[in-house]
């Protein structure tokens, strides 16, 4: 099976390569460190499985997942990340990923995940399965969402949302809050998922309708 690793941390990608190189049924065919490189690689090489970091520096991992599955619909995507949040899990699974494992997983679980997904099945780390079950239980609660029933938005997410509404660019948000571009994109992806918005316009509408930013101040 031909495997591509997509992660912006070179040491982590190298570690995965060392693990896979010792397996006779697996061949690591490349390592990519940003979203554009992943899309370009998939456009020019046929592979079976990709280990995809959800939080790439230039393009959100969810968007990368969407694009590469348009190019190779049979590609098996395993999201691999440090984030065990319902919003991240739900969003990337809804966009075609077949597995979701955490970066603290061990060698045996990594190999099990790859081989399970290769057979057409899904695979999730134990912690991820618990998050999925929690999400399903929450969705069973009847009634429309009011302001009290909206998912919990963190203080930092509210700050990012406030600056998005004020038309700050991603770079300007990062500079204002003293966080990385990558972190800004992560918060934006989380907000889109939590508030069930398709784009920035949707975020603005929901925030204003539900008065999510009342009293929010940017603390430098």
- 101: its two tokens: 């494992």
Q: What domain range is 79 assigned to?
A: 2-137
Number of domains in the chain: 2
- Residues 157, 160, 161, 166: what is their CA dihedral angle, to the nearest 10 degrees? 170
Nearest residue to 37 via CA among 6, 3, 72, 70: 6
Are 24 and 121 within one domain? Answer: yes
Are 164 and 124 within one domain? Answer: no
Please give the pLDDT value at position 129.
65
Rg, Å, the chain Cα set: 18
Task: Please give the DSSP secondary-structure letter assigned to residue 3.
Answer: E
pLDDT grade, residue 85 (50/70/90)?
A: low
User: Tens digit of pLDDT for each residue in 137-196?
Assistant: 555 553 444 445 677 888 899 999 989 888 888 899 999 999 998 899 889 888 988 888
Phi and psi at 100, nearest 5°, equal -150, 110
pTM of this prediction exceeds 0.75: no
- Residues 9, 11, 16, 17: what is their CA dihedral angle, to the nearest 10 degrees? 110
In a domain, 147, yes or no: no
Are 121 and 191 within one domain? Answer: no
Q: What distance in Å separates the CA atoms of residue 8 and residue 57, rounded to the nearest whole number? A: 7
Please give the pLDDT value at position 18.
93
Please give the pLDDT value at position 145.
46
Are 22 and 110 within one domain? Answer: yes
Please give the pLDDT value at position 27.
93
Question: Would the pLDDT of 13 be above 60?
Answer: yes
- The pLDDT mean for the chain works out to 85
Task: Please give the DSSP secondary-structure letter assigned to residue 196.
Answer: T
Q: Is 1 in contact with 120 (CB distance < 8 Å)?
A: no
Paired strand residues for 79:
52, 100
User: Tens digit of pLDDT for each residue in 43-58?
Assistant: 999 999 999 998 888 8
For 29-38, what is the mean pLDDT? Answer: 95
Are 26 and 52 within one domain? Answer: yes
User: Tens digit of pLDDT for each residue in 87-137?
Assistant: 677 788 888 999 989 888 899 999 999 999 999 888 888 777 666 555 555
Cα–Cα distance list, 49 to 111, 119, 129, 179 (Å): 12, 11, 21, 32
């Amino acid at each position: 099976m031909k495997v591509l690793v997509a992660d912006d941390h070179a040491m982590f990608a190298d570690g995965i390569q060392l693990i896979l190189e010792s397996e006779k049924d697996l061949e690591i065919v490349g390592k990519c460190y940003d979203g554009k490189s992943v899309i370009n690689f998939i456009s020019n090489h046929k592979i079976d499985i990709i280990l995809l970091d959800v939080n790439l520096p230039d393009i959100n991992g969810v968007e990368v997942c969407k694009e590469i599955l348009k190019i190779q619909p049979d590609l098996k995507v395993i999201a691999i990340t440090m984030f065990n949040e319902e919003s991240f899990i739900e969003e990337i699974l809804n966009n075609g990923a077949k597995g979701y494992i955490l970066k603290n997983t061990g060698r045996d679980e990594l190999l099990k995940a790859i081989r399970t997904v290769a057979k057409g099945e899904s695979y999730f780390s134990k912690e991820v399965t618990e998050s999925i079950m929690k999400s399903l239980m929450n969705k069973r609660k009847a009634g429309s969402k009011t302001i009290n029933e909206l998912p919990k938005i963190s203080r930092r997410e509210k700050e990012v949302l406030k600056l998005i509404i004020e038309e700050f660019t991603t770079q300007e948000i990062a500079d204002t809050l003293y966080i990385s571009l990558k972190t800004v994109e992560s918060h934006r992806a989380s907000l889109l998922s939590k508030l069930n918005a398709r784009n920035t316009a949707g975020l603005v509408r929901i925030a204003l309708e539900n008065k999510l930013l009342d009293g929010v101040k940017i603390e430098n």
